[in-house]
């Protein structure tokens, strides 16, 4: 199969770093000359150890795909991006790039703080492949996109982190790249500029390729079709974004709460795929995690609308019932739920702790209680939605999850009204004074 099918093709990629006993050892290795006669044997030292930042990475990223990369700090995410871009040489393996790459890596990378914003624009754009005449033609648009005013003629050392990102992203957006590589950069931008960047990214990804590293799982779920989870420099999981991000969140939960937590992976029922079908029973408690302190034993979702005909249009009043059993005495358990779209983005949610109409209670060991949430379903656009449910203790600032169930309920929504965005608005009136 031709490699031209792929925007990025990664084979057996690895990056190794050497740790030295002393600076002179590093110098000896760098220049390849025996310098032992200049220093004592003890001072000369040697390589203490080697560390593989990445190892055995194989990826096939097709043109037009959007790849998210997640993982804890130190897992190798930034190293992988540098290898993909060619700013770092691999120790093993190869990267085949089919198209021009524009990268926004670590904050301020590629910027000379003594140069003005204008000078940095010309330097960065030339590095990304534009000629001086091409930069001249696009300079006014780059400056308009960055929107930092007179600071464009000031040294970059006078810039805030957000201003550096503005200029760097503005350059990247005007070099006619085929592949965008972004490393957590938008986290420091203000809301207005971030929205401008998101509009550009969403338009770009209609036809071209994006690789995004972020700790913000909702951004990965919103923007990326596939996700790679790196752990200790190796691929832990690679696949569709929803499955990978849920598995990663389970892993993070275990790290937070220790070995007492475990996966709850009862087999899933096949879900009805008929548009408009109302699924009102739990999805066999789906998959998730539990600590063993308490558990969700059942859940149901029903419509309270009269003459409901197994069809959700959005806006109906529904009742979500969640039954929990205490395996130990519980003080003030918190029961809650979230509604997610098919990408895993959170649409809405509620819990007993944040609700002012619910009073705390204690639950003794082996006892059960059912909590009923009655609410108006959001004005959802047509499509499939999932409701995840949970039981926790503590408070919203210091929460310990004890049983979380992914996709406990799947609902199919068919709305005859076209709705814009994730949810529609409950418009009370529209009028004109004419």
| Domain interval for residue 315 | 258-413
Q: Give the pLDDT score at 215.
A: 84
Verify that 262 and 190 share a domain, yes or no: no
Q: Give the pLDDT score at 259.
A: 47
The long-range contacts involving 182-185, CB below 8 angstroms and separated by at least 24 positions, are 182/103, 182/104, 182/210, 182/211, 182/212, 182/213, 183/77, 183/78, 183/81, 183/103, 183/104, 183/105, 183/106, 183/213, 184/213, 184/214, 184/215, 185/104, 185/105, 185/107
> Among residues of the chain, what percentage have pLDDT more than 90?
42
pLDDT over 80 (residue 184): no
More confident call, 52 vs 412? 52
Least confident interval from 252-256, 333-337, 409-413:
252-256
Provide the domain count of the chain. 2
Q: What is the pLDDT of residues 357-390, one digit of tens each?
A: 788 888 999 999 999 999 999 998 888 888 999 9
**HEC string of the chain?**
CCHHHEEEEEEEEEEEEEEECCHHHHHHHHHCCCCHHHCCHHHHCCEEEEEEEEEEEEEEEECCCEEEEECCCCCCHHHHHHHHHCCCCCCEEEEEECCCEEEECCCCCCCCCCCEHHHHHHHHHHHCCCCHHHHHHHHHHHHHHHCCHHHHHCEHHHCCHHHHHHHHHHHHCCCCCCEEEEECHHHHCCHHHHHHHHHHHHHHCCCCEEEEECCCHHHHHHHCCEEEEEECCEEEEEEEHHHHHHHHHHHHHHHHHCCCCEEEECCCCCCCCCCCCCCCECCCCCEEEECCCEEEEEEEEEECCCCCCCCECCCCEEEEEEEEEECCCEECCEEEEEEEECCCCEEEEEECCCCCCCCCCEECCCCEEEEEEEEECCCECCEEEEEEEEEEEEECCEEEEEEEEEEEEEEEECCCCCCCCCECCCCCCCCCCC
Verify that 342 and 215 share a domain, yes or no: no
Q: Does a structural domain hold residue 50?
A: no
For residue 271, name the pLDDT band (cuts at 50, 70, 90).
very low
User: Among 112, 78, 79, 84, which Cα is nearest to 96's?
Assistant: 84
pLDDT over 60 (residue 199): yes
Please identify which residue in the block is written with the tokens 């389970």. 250
Q: Give the pLDDT score at 308.
A: 63
Q: Give the pLDDT score at 281.
A: 42
Q: What is the pLDDT of residues 226-251, one digit of tens each?
A: 999 999 999 999 999 988 988 898 88
Q: Does a structural domain hold residue 1?
A: no
Q: Does a structural domain hold residue 73?
A: yes
Is residue 309 packed enough to be buried (19+ CB in 10 Å), middle (13-18) or exposed (0-12)?
A: exposed
Rg (CA), the chain: 27
Compute the average pLDDT of residues 275-295. 58
Least confident interval from 126-140, 141-155, 271-285, 319-333:
271-285
Q: Does a structural domain hold residue 210?
A: yes
Q: Give the pLDDT score at 104.
A: 84
pLDDT over 50 (residue 270): no
For residue 305, name the pLDDT band (cuts at 50, 70, 90).
confident
- The answer to whether the CB of 111 falls within 8 A of the CB of 160 is no
| Residues in a beta bridge with 320 | 301, 373
> Among residues of the chain, what percentage have pLDDT more than 70?
82
More confident call, 260 vs 313? 313
Compute the average pLDDT of residues 252-259. 66
pLDDT over 80 (residue 333): yes
Q: What is the pLDDT of residues 1-53, one digit of tens each?
A: 566 889 999 999 999 987 776 666 666 666 655 545 454 444 444 556 788 99
Compute the average pLDDT of residues 202-211. 92
Q: Does a structural domain hold residue 146?
A: yes
Q: Give the pLDDT score at 383.
A: 81
- Give CA–CA dist 181/198, Å, rounded: 14
Residue 112 C-alpha from the chain's centroid: 30
* Highest mean predicted confidence (pLDDT) among 263-267, 276-280, 381-385: 381-385
Verify that 339 and 400 share a domain, yes or no: yes
Residue 117, token pair as written in the block:
């914003």
Compute the average pLDDT of residues 293-300. 90
Q: Give the pLDDT score at 397.
A: 77
Is residue 33 packed enough to be buried (19+ CB in 10 Å), middle (13-18) or exposed (0-12)?
A: exposed
- The answer to whether the CB of 182 falls within 8 A of the CB of 223 is no
Verify that 138 and 274 share a domain, yes or no: no
Verify that 392 and 306 share a domain, yes or no: yes
Least confident interval from 27-41, 70-84, 147-161:
27-41
Q: Does a structural domain hold residue 52?
A: no
Q: Does a structural domain hold residue 110?
A: yes
Verify that 227 and 271 share a domain, yes or no: no
Verify that 82 and 218 share a domain, yes or no: yes
Verify that 182 and 263 share a domain, yes or no: no
Q: Give the pLDDT score at 196.
A: 84
More confident call, 71 vs 394? 71
- The answer to whether the CB of 22 falls within 8 A of the CB of 44 is yes
Q: Give the pLDDT score at 28.
A: 64
Verify that 300 and 200 share a domain, yes or no: no
Parallel/antiparallel/unpaired status of strands 383-395 and 334-341: antiparallel
More confident call, 62 vs 419? 62
pLDDT over 90 (residue 193): no
pLDDT over 50 (residue 225): yes
Verify that 217 and 69 share a domain, yes or no: yes
Mark residue 344 as left, alpha or beta (left: phi above 0; alpha: psi -120 to 50; beta: remaining). Answer: left
- Give CA–CA dist 154/184, Å, rounded: 25
Compute the average pLDDT of residues 256-271. 44
Does the pTM exceed 0.85? no
Compute the average pLDDT of residues 79-83. 93
- Mean model confidence pLDDT for the chain: 82
CATH number reported for the structural domain that contains residue 380 in this entry: 2.70.50.60
Compute the average pLDDT of residues 259-276. 37
Q: Give the pLDDT score at 280.
A: 39
More confident call, 330 vs 418? 330
Q: Give the residue from 241, 269, 291 where a domain finishes.
A: 241
CATH number reported for the structural domain that contains residue 109 in this entry: 3.40.50.300
Q: Does a structural domain hold residue 126?
A: yes
Verify that 286 and 166 share a domain, yes or no: no
Q: What are the backbone angles phi and psi of residue 372, rounded to the nearest 5°?
A: -110, 125
pLDDT over 50 (residue 282): no
Verify that 120 and 198 share a domain, yes or no: yes
For residue 272, name the pLDDT band (cuts at 50, 70, 90).
very low
Residue 256, token pair as written in the block:
């937070």
pLDDT over 80 (residue 263): no
């Amino acid at each position: 199969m031709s490699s031209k099918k792929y925007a990025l093709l990664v084979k057996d990629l690895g990056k190794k770093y050497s740790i030295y006993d002393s600076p002179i050892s590093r110098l000896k290795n760098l220049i390849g000359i025996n310098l032992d006669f200049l220093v004592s044997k003890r001072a000369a030292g040697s390589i203490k150890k080697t560390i593989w930042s990445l190892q055995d990475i194989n990826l096939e990223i097709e043109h037009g795909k959007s790849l998210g990369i997640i993982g804890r700090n130190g897992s190798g995410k930034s190293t992988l991006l540098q290898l993909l871009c060619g700013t770092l040489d691999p120790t093993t393996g190869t990267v085949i790039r089919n198209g021009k790459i524009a990268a926004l890596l670590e904050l301020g990378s590629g910027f000379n703080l003594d140069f003005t914003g204008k000078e940095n624009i010309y330097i960065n754009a030339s590095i990304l492949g534009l000629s001086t005449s091409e930069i001249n033609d696009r300079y006014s648009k780059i400056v308009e996109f960055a929107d930092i005013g007179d600071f464009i003629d000031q040294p970059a050392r006078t810039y805030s982190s957000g201003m550096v990102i503005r200029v760097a992203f503005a350059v990247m957006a005007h070099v006619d790249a085929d592949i965008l590589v972004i490393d957590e950069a938008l986290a420091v931008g203000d809301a207005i500029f971030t929205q401008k960047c998101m509009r550009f990214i969403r338009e770009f990804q209609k036809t071209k390729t994006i690789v995004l590293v972020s700790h913000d799982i909702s951004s990965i779920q919103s923007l990326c079709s596939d996700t790679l989870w790196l752990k200790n420099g190796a691929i832990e999981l690679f696949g569709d974004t929803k499955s990978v991000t849920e598995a990663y969140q389970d892993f993070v939960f275990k790290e937070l709460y220790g070995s007492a937590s475990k996966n709850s992976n009862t087999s899933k029922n096949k879900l009805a795929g008929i548009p408009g079908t109302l699924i009102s029973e739990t999805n066999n408690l789906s998959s998730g995690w539990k600590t063993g302190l308490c558990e969700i034993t059942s859940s149901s979702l029903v419509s309270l609308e009269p003459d409901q005909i197994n069809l959700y249009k959005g806006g109906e009043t529904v009742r979500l019932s969640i039954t929990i059993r205490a395996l130990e005495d519980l003080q003030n358990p918190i029961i809650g739920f979230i509604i997610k779209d098919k990408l895993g983005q959170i649409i809405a949610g509620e819990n007993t702790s944040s609700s002012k109409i619910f009073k705390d209670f204690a639950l003794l060991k082996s006892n059960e209680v059912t909590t009923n949430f009655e609410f108006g379903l959001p004005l959802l656009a047509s499509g499939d939605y999932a409701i995840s449910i949970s039981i926790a203790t503590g408070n919203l600032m210091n929460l310990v999850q004890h049983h979380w169930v992914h996709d406990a309920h799947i609902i199919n929504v068919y709305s005859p009204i076209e709705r814009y965005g994730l949810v529609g608005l409950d418009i009370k009136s529209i009028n004109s004074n004419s």
